[in-house]
């Protein structure tokens, strides 16, 4: 029997809210993805962060790389999805 990744999705959580994508927020987003939160057909995770990616933050925000500096955080994260 083959198991699809979608079999592990948490389909009971259709919408899950999240504010911020800083140092702790990046870790939460990674954990949400690993747990399958918001991955059903109608599932969504809302990320709101009005900052831009700064070079000084790269050491604690593992989603971003030096080439991403000065990009708006939510625009970058939305491309990852």
Give the C-alpha separation, 71 to 16, whole Å: 25
Chain-wide mean pLDDT for the chain? 75
Banded model confidence at residue 79, pLDDT cuts 50, 70, 90:
confident
Predicted TM-score (pTM) of the model is: 0.63
Across residues 36-41, what is the average pLDDT? 76
What pLDDT does residue 17 have?
A: 57
Convert the pLDDT of each residue in 39-75 to its tens digit: 777 777 777 888 888 998 888 888 888 999 999 988 8
The domain ranges of the chain are: 13-80
Is beta strand 15-19 parallel, antiparallel or unpaired with respect to 44-48? parallel
């Amino acid at each position: 029997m083959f198991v699809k990744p979608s079999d592990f999705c948490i389909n009971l959580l259709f919408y899950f809210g999240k504010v911020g994508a800083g140092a702790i927020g990046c870790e939460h987003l990674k954990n949400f993805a690993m747990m399958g939160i918001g991955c059903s057909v109608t599932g969504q995770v809302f990320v709101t962060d009005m900052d831009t990616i700064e070079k000084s933050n790269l050491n604690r925000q593992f989603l971003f790389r030096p080439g991403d500096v000065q990009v708006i955080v939510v625009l970058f994260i939305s491309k990852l999805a």
